[in-house]
Amino acid sequence: MNEETHSRSAVLGLQHLLAMYAGSILVPIMISGALNYSAEQLTYLISTDIFMCGVATFFQLQLRKHFGVGLPVVLGCAFQSVAPLSIIGANQGSAYMFGALIASGIYVMVIAGIFSKIAAFFPPVVTGSVITTIGLTLIPVAMGNMGDNIDSPTAQSMILALITIAIVLAVNIFAKGFLKSIAILIGLIGGTVIAAFMGLVNTSAVVEAPLVHVPQPFYFGMPKFEITSIVMMCIIATVSMVESTGVYLALADLTGDKIDSQRLRNGYRAEGFAVLLGGIFNTFPYTGFSQNVGLVRISGIKTRRPIYYTALFLVILGLLPKFGAMAQMIPSPVLGGAMIVLFGMVALQGIQMLHQVDFEHNEHNFIIAAVSIACGVGFNGTNLFDSLPTTLQMFLTNGIVIATLLAVVLNLVLNGKTQTK
């Protein structure tokens, strides 16, 4: 009986891994693309990122006095980190990017105890506006990939991207349960298989990747620290904490497990420590993945055991670089096709949050949502601030940071800190 339970948990753990895998590999692929990393560096990034997702998930599964939220939560790379890390890396270099990550991890651990007071500044009108902005600002990245990131995309790229979108949509429409939860991953695999028949798949990264590797601290060099990049990543870390809070509360409701402010604090601490380790091992920030909440609901298995298997599988895969290198086989148009659906879904999550907001009786909420989303999307990557110093440009051209600051400040000014809807 015990063996059956463990085997079932292992199968469900593998399903959880597949549900979060596509989202987790996209973050290093997008950041490395923006910073022109080599194939070898990207293989390291993806493999180490998968490894650290497992480690971060293991930390969060703990239910200790000062550490871990103790819920069946899977941690993966935070999409909101893509734009700011790309900006920091492009303007200041990788050393400052990972330095800012280390600082933001420490920041999360330090403020974990008082975040319940800060959470009042993030009602649905703020979180909905920010999550919507995250999705909308990433869509141009998806469009670039659909066109193979060249000035004059070919018809071949367009067709491949559209086929990938069609596969993802077909799975979403016709599949149910677990298969539906991995629609993006199926789209990536299906699109890559079709691309292989078109002669567009390059396997050299897999051939050249070593069989085994161990993540190295400071692989890209010793970290460097600069105040603007640190402030940016601390704002992003705060957004991630708000997002994780929603995941924790949803899982607590699903499992019937009462969660108090102390367990939330311990969850934030574990997440902060994972981000700190991410900076040291040169990977990226982590946050609770909402995709896996849906899988807990579908499966009906509400214990932590399957997630322990997920963490174990992630660690093992992270030690095998050839698995990480396989992600490099995916052609850009296929990535772009999957991304366009995924980031559209992220934006829609934000819009769903805004449905909780009282727009009918409080017109201030219209102003908060409209201005923060418009400025977040409009300022993202704009050349409007080219005459300003580089550090200010980095800050002002980050749409997610701008949307967060505007939404928090406008809500505070127009609604007051006690407003929750």
Structural domain for 274, as ranges = 2-346
Given a cut of 70, the residues of the chain with pLDDT beneath it are 1-4, 116-117, 119-120, 417-421
Q: How many domains does the chain have?
A: 1
Residue 282: alpha-carbon gap to chain centroid: 16
Per-residue model confidence as pLDDT tens digits over 38-71: 989 999 999 999 999 999 999 999 888 888 889 9
* Rounded Cα gap, residues 169 and 397, in angstroms: 33
Q: How many residues does the chain have?
A: 421
Estimate to the nearest angstrom the gap between the alpha carbon of 288 and the chain centroid.
Answer: 9
Among 334, 332, 320, 343, which Cα is nearest to 50's? Answer: 320
Predicted confidence at residue 89, as pLDDT, reads 92
Residue 378 lies in a domain: no
Per-residue pLDDT at 120: 66
Give the pTM.
Answer: 0.86
Per the domain annotation, does 281 fall within a domain? yes
The helix (H) or strand (E) run that includes residue 152 is none
Residue 343 tokens, joined: 């980031």
Q: What is the b/e burial string over 195-221, where b = at least 16 CB atoms within 10 angstroms of the residue's CB? A: beeeebbeeebbeebeeebebeeebbe
Beta partners for residue 215, in sequence order: none
pLDDT at 119: 67
Is 155 inside any structural domain? yes
The sign one gets for the Cα dihedral 402, 405, 408, 412 is: negative
Q: What residues are paired with 288 via a beta bridge?
A: 75
Say what the pLDDT of residue 1 is: 38
Residue identified by tokens 């928090």 is 408
Q: For residue 3, what pLDDT is reported?
A: 46
